Amino acid sequence: MTAHPFALLHRIREKENTSAPALVSLLEETFAGMSDFAKRPIGTIGSQPVFLCYLTSLVSSQRLSFAVEWEELTELSTRVDRYTGPPFAEGSRELCVDAICGGAAILCLEGTSAGLILDISDTQHRNVASPVTENVLQGPLYAFNEDLQTNFALIRQRIRSAKLKIWETKIGTASRTRTAICYYEGAVDIECLANVQAMLKNIVVDGLQDTGQLLRLLVAKKKMRLFPLAVSSERPDRAVAELLKGKLILLVDGSPFALILPAVYTDFWHSPEDLYVNVYVSYFLNALRFLAMFINLFLPAFYVALTSVNIDVNRLEISLAAAASREGVPYPVFIETFLMLIVIDFITEAGIRLPKTISSTVTMVGGVVLGQAIIQANIVSNLLVIIVAATAITNFIVIDYQMGLVQRVLKYFIAAGATIAGLLGIVFCFTCLVFYLSCLESFGTPYLTSLMRKKGTPSP
Amino acid sequence: MRIGKSLSGYEQFALQFLFFGASAGFVYPSLLINSTKGAYWFPLATWAIAALLSCWLYSCLLARLQGRELVGMLNDSLGRLGSGLLLAPVFLFIAGSLTVMLRAYSELITMTMLPTTPLMFLNGMIVAAGALAWAGALPIARAAKVLMLFGAIFSLALMIAGISECKWSLGGPWLRTNGDFFGNKHFYAGSFIWMGFVFTALTGKYTPESSRRYRKSYTAAIAVGALWSAGFIYLPVLTFGPELSRRLTFPYVSKMDSIYHYWIVFENMTAIFISVTMFYVLLVMAMKLHALGESVKSLFPAFKSSWIYVVLSVLFYAAASAIPSWRDLEHQVFNSIGLRMYTMFVFPALGLGSLLHKRKRMEKRSA
């Protein structure tokens, strides 16, 4: 049972070393120049005044009321009795400074070098809301938010088992961001877990803001890391499904995204919805996504190859139609294609960054008006506008945002290959891509793990 | 972590399958068609059986490695000089086959798709193979699985598209043979397509269990590869007849040129075939480079891996660029018959003999 706070304060006074500097003045010195630092006298013990020190921006005014919303004549012990929260802890200067920075208040007697830490912190975060980047029509409709405790709760509510373990550390010399690894005991790869724990402990950085930044820090030593090596998800149901498969979930306080690792290439193409629809429909949707990936990567490159380098590969009728559509276009095919691909990327980027009310207008102006005008001005062929539109649409089918960004970059690479060597250039670039992917490993797991699931592993 | 583990049976199958795809579609049909006037499947089946025998010899050799690499083990039992002498013809064969493959593929591209592109530029494709070879055996195996998926789908589709114009009467004689191919140099020159298992034997560590897996997967791959190769041979014969096919340098490529269906969007199927073949060629070149690079590393452990692969890639680029003409390339195929026979049969037999001799010596010493 925890000792009464009043008794603890008495004990601190009795064992006090008089030569040690007073905590109150040390805290004042440490937090000098901080307008939200408060030192409030809340009573006396004997002749010594008792202070409550805290940062007004981090504490909950409701939980602080035990100390401030009383008449001055009220006994201190009565006030302290009204405190509700985690048990008191005694702390020296370093602990007290850390605690104040974390949102706690320090109860200390004037002249003593130690104080009592009262956790009355109040973190600001959103309520649990619908996912923004992983919408589904069938399945749970809530997402993680920026509060780590809430995120733990969302996971725990879906795995009510003692096998769900949470390991926590703090990252960032300044931010001291709480970072956690969730794993399911018995399913997790112990070697992978130990590696990731060691990697997290070795991260040296001033501040950690998001799981995306954490992933960058984790794979910082690997060169040429174009592809994401972990799935980023804001859906608790997806995180839990992956946990049960033996994967690790990394959560960062202040980030609404969970990192799922290790991740293989095919993981980025599965939607959380795949688990909730008919299995054959799920296979069809997966096939559709892969088809979209190939169209997105290769369609502009095929246009360049078949209209400028390997004209004889196509049927004569198609080649003539393509040539007719380019009549009057003054640029070579590859310049025309690269120009349009860049324009469509501008529009996409503008649509994402602008407020929702304006973005639809920009998309309309960019897509329809600009497209029509650019054809009429004979800057590009109308066939290319169709191709670029199809390329842009297929890019939005990519489930994972980071993988979608990689696809957007890679289509230029393959189009460049087509410009140099036509069809062979496309095949060469694709083969190089396969070679590159085959060399990648995500936290010890080959990125190109078989498409087919091994017997005994959970079904998709 | 799978680093350091041996290849799975499926991965070995994929590698051998790609090896067939990389080498059976170009010169091989011409060599085999010219090797006999009887049924073509006899020489094909004969080579398949010979390949199985060679594969069995290699698996017996690998079973005695006790978790070690072949080159390292030979080095220990025969010394650097002895193992160097034993392996020199094998290295020469690999070097020759890699040079021929790179140059032949570049030549084929200039003949069919990119006539104005310099060969020096096309030979530069070895950079991609060199990079993968440096990455190791497991990345090669992973890439092989993916490329086999794509390569097999496209190649099979091309074969099926070519079937409709075949006249089955042109394929005869279907059963008659007088064994004339045994006396024909074209028959022996065609041995190069059956040797995929040699390259994986030179890399990786083997145990009795993994050598059994090696034998099983390559037996399956050789069976599938024989059927695959039969497709490369019979499709042109059934289209053009044996006489015309004999005169063609690349019968299967010519066959691809002849495919026309109103429902196929593309007209130039040769371009598709050559493009798809790049999947096979790049991967097989990486496999050969890796086999050579790892063998050099085993013999000279002090050498840095990255430098070995850079030097090998530059050497083969230079060698492929230095071959004066296509005819010289054809001569090379015939001139290296001896090296191939040595690699297939003599080397594993000698290696097996040396390991058995060492074992007996050890037993005597311990007794």
- What is the predicted ipTM? 0.91
Nearest chain B CA: its distance from A250 CA (Å): 20
User: Percent of chain A scored above 70 by pLDDT?
Assistant: 91
A-facing residues of B in 26-45 (CB < 8 A) are none
Contact, B86 vs B351, CB < 8 A?
Answer: yes
Q: How many CB atoms lie within 10 A of CB A242?
A: 24
Q: What is the DSSP letter of A442?
A: E
Instruction: Identify residue B208 by its one-letter amino acid code.
Output: P
CB contact under 8 A, B146 and A313: no
Residues A109-152 have pLDDT tens digits of: 887 878 888 888 887 788 888 888 888 888 888 999 999 999 99
What distance in Å separates the CA atoms of residue B246 and residue B231, rounded to the nearest whole number?
16
Contact, B57 vs B70, CB < 8 A?
Answer: no
Q: What is the DSSP string of B283-314?
A: HHHHHHHHHHHHHHHHH-TTS-HHHHHHHHHH
Of the candidates A238, A189, A264, the one whose C-alpha atom is nearest the C-alpha of residue A450 is A264
**What tokens were used for A91?**
């702390």
- Which positions ≥6 away from A184 have C-beta within 8 Å? A159, A161, A163, A164, A165, A243, A244, A246
Residue A112 three-state SS: coil
Give the residue with greater pLDDT, A81 vs B357: B357
Residues B57-90 have pLDDT tens digits of: 999 988 888 888 888 888 888 888 888 888 899 9
Of the candidates A289, A293, A301, the one whose C-alpha atom is nearest the C-alpha of residue A413 is A301
Residue A348 has pLDDT above 70, yes or no: yes
pLDDT at A71: 59
pLDDT band at A459 (very low <50, low <70, confident <90, very high): very low
B-facing residues of A in 200-229 (CB < 8 A) are none
What distance in Å separates the CA atoms of residue B170 and residue B236, rounded to the nearest whole number?
10
* Mean pLDDT score, B275-295: 92
- What ranges in A332-448 are assigned the alpha helix state H? 333-353, 356-364, 371-376, 382-395, 401-439
**What tokens were used for B137?**
């055996």
- Which positions ≥6 away from B183 have C-beta within 8 Å? none
Residue B20 main-chain phi, psi, to 5 deg: -60, -45
Residue A172 main-chain phi, psi, to 5 deg: 105, 120
Contact, B114 vs B122, CB < 8 A?
Answer: yes
pLDDT at A452: 47
Place of tokens 């074969």: B159
Chain A hits for B145, Cβ within 8 Å: 448, 450
Report the phi/psi class of residue B353: left, alpha or beta, with left for phi > 0 and alpha for psi in -120 to 50: alpha
Tell whether B344 lies on the interface with A, counting CB pairs under 8 A: no
- Chain A: residue whose CA lies nearest to B286: A435
What distance in Å separates the CA atoms of residue A106 and residue A96, rounded to the nearest whole number?
7
Write out A323-341 in H/E/C secondary structure. HHHCCCCCCCHHHHHHHHH
What distance in Å separates the CA atoms of residue B30 and residue B182, rounded to the nearest whole number?
16
Nearest chain B CA: its distance from A165 CA (Å): 23
Of all helices (H) and strands (E), which one includes residue A83? none
Q: Where are the beta strands (DSSP E) in B131-279?
A: 205-206
Residue A233 main-chain phi, psi, to 5 deg: -135, 145
Instruction: Identify residue A439 by its one-letter amino acid code.
Output: C
Nearest chain A CA: its distance from B214 CA (Å): 20
- Vertex B250 angle, CA B245 and B255, to 5°: 65
What is chain A's length? Answer: 460
Of all helices (H) and strands (E), which one includes residue B41? helix B41-63
Q: Which of A309, A314, A432 sits opposite B267 (nearest CB)?
A: A314
For residue B299, list its beta bridge partners: none
CB contact under 8 A, B283 and A444: no
Tell whether A315 lies on the interface with B, counting CB pairs under 8 A: yes
- Vertex B186 angle, CA B185 and B192, to 5°: 105
Residues A181-217 have pLDDT tens digits of: 999 999 998 999 999 999 999 999 999 999 999 998 9
How far CA A216 is from CA of A196, A394, A400, B169, in Å, comes to 13, 27, 16, 65
Report the phi/psi class of residue B331: left, alpha or beta, with left for phi > 0 and alpha for psi in -120 to 50: alpha
User: pTM (2 decimals)?
Assistant: 0.86
Look at strands A248-252 and A258-261 and give their pairing: antiparallel
How far CA B18 is from CA of B203, B205, B279, in Å, comes to 17, 22, 8
Say if residue A131 is preceded by a cis peptide, omega within 30 of 0.
no
How far CA B60 is from CA of B87, B207, B218, B344, in Å, comes to 18, 10, 14, 13
Residue A74 has pLDDT above 70, yes or no: no
Look at strands B68-69 and A441-442 and give their pairing: unpaired
Of the candidates B143, B123, B147, the one whose C-alpha atom is nearest the C-alpha of residue B132 is B143
CB contact under 8 A, B265 and A318: yes
Residues A20-52 have pLDDT tens digits of: 678 888 888 888 888 888 888 887 777 778 888
- Provide the sign of the torsion angle of the four alpha carbons B341, B347, B352, B356, taken in this order: positive
* Mean pLDDT score, A313-319: 83
Give the number of beta-carbon pairs within 8 Å between A and B. Answer: 85
- What ranges in A55-127 are assigned the alpha helix state H? 61-68, 76-81, 93-101
What distance in Å separates the CA atoms of residue B124 and residue B317, rounded to the nearest whole number?
7
Residues A259-307 have pLDDT tens digits of: 998 998 888 888 888 888 899 999 999 999 999 999 999 999 999 998 8
Task: Return mean pLDDT, chain A.
Answer: 84
Residue B82 three-state SS: helix
| A251 burial level (CB within 10 Å; 0-12, 13-18, 19+) | buried
- Chain B: residue whose CA lies nearest to A306: B266
